[in-house]
Copies of this chain bind each other. A is one copy, B any other.
Amino acid sequence: MEQLIVVKIGGNIIDDDKKLASFITSFSAIPTKKILIHGGGKLATKLAIELGIEQQMIDGRRITDAETLKVVTMVYAGYINKNIVAQLQAHNCNAIGLSGADANLIAAVKRPMKNGVDYGFVGDVVAAPSVANWQLLLDNNFVPIIAPITHNNEGQLLNTNADTIAQEVAKALSSIYDVQLIYSFEKSGVLMDADDDDSIIKSITPHYYQALKEQKIIFAGMIPKLDNAFEALNCGVKKVVIGHAEKLTQLITGTAGTAITHDDDSNK
């Protein structure tokens, strides 16, 4: 099967013009088929504050009311997405900026109430994305750049976690491509010591992951990221790597970051 590299880029890199430009240069140079899924960074929050839209948080999770949905759609699918595309096109990369609504790439459902909490216009990807339109785009050498906005197939846009989208897309496309999934962000990988960016754990297997969680070495925001990574690995994705966006080339070649691997072929 042909190789496909799915890259998620985290928000903090997007907020930094210089780091983003460096990332874009590396991404455009990837010689295989590729997809970029970007987060939102602080721009959406900043715009919401400027517009006087109050951010409602419940248990650390943002509630996406109608006004917040409008802001994230504008910032993610408009401003960030089109600026990344224009920069990639300047590097002769045939980028095409899309949301989950476009070509029905990612259908979702509005998150059901949980414990009496309505999270608003937040989308949970329920069904595996249909591969037909993805394949048409990729096989015609388009490079999809995906904003984390989905739709419910009934005309409603939904705010959706970009890590989850990366995982779902990587899983679905594993049926037709040899998929490598890269979670790139502002840290060098999964760290033994969160304050020491050199303490990279080279590889994590499911068993080791359990131990790292029990020892509280892995905690907070890293847990959903790693859950996503293992879920992808368990569903056909060949390789998952987590690491620094500025080392994208090395993450792909396996010389930087943290590799998420099966217990069998662990090289920890």
Copies in the complex: 2
Q: Which of A73-129 contact B (CB under 8 A)?
A: 73-79, 81-83, 85-87, 89-90, 94-99, 101-104
Q: Can you name 18 A-B pairs with beta carbons within 8 Å?
A: A50-B51, A70-B79, A73-B82, A76-B78, A77-B82, A78-B78, A78-B79, A78-B81, A89-B104, A89-B151, A90-B153, A90-B154, A95-B102, A96-B98, A96-B102, A96-B103, A97-B102, A133-B142
Question: Residue-by-residue, is A144-186 near B (CB-CB < 8 Å gives 1, otherwise 0)?
Answer: 0000010101111100000000000000000000000000000
Tell me how far the C-beta of A51 lies from the nearest C-beta in chain B, rounded to whole angstroms: 6
Q: Does A140 touch B at the CB level, under 8 Å? A: yes
Chain B neighbourhood of A96, CB < 8 A: 98, 102-103
Interface size class on chain A is 35 or more
A136 within 8 A of B: yes
Alpha-carbon distance between A101 and B157 when the two chains are bound, in angstroms: 23
The one of B81, B140, B153 that contacts A140, using a Cβ cutoff of 8 Å: B140
Q: Which residues of A in the span 46-89 have a Cβ within 8 Å of any Cβ on B?
A: 50-51, 70, 73-79, 81-83, 85-87, 89
Is the beta-carbon distance between B157 and A86 smaller than 8 angstroms?
Answer: yes
**For residue A151, which residues in chain B have a CB less than 8 angstroms away from its CB?**
85-86, 89
Could you tell me if B94 and A97 are in contact, using CB atoms closer than 8 angstroms? no
Question: In the complex, are the beta carbons of A74 and B85 less than 8 A apart?
Answer: no
Docked Cα-Cα span, A132 to B96, in Å, equals 14
Interface string of A38-52 (1 = CB under 8 A from B): 000000000000110
Chain B residue numbers with a CB within 8 Å of A98 are 96-98, 102
Chain B residues near A101 (CB-CB < 8 A): 82, 85-86, 89, 95, 97
Q: Which residues of B contact A149 (CB under 8 A)?
A: 82
In the A-B complex, the 4 residue pairs with the closest CB atoms: A78-B78, A74-B74, A74-B78, A90-B155
Tell me the bound Cα distance from A95 to B101 in angstroms.
8
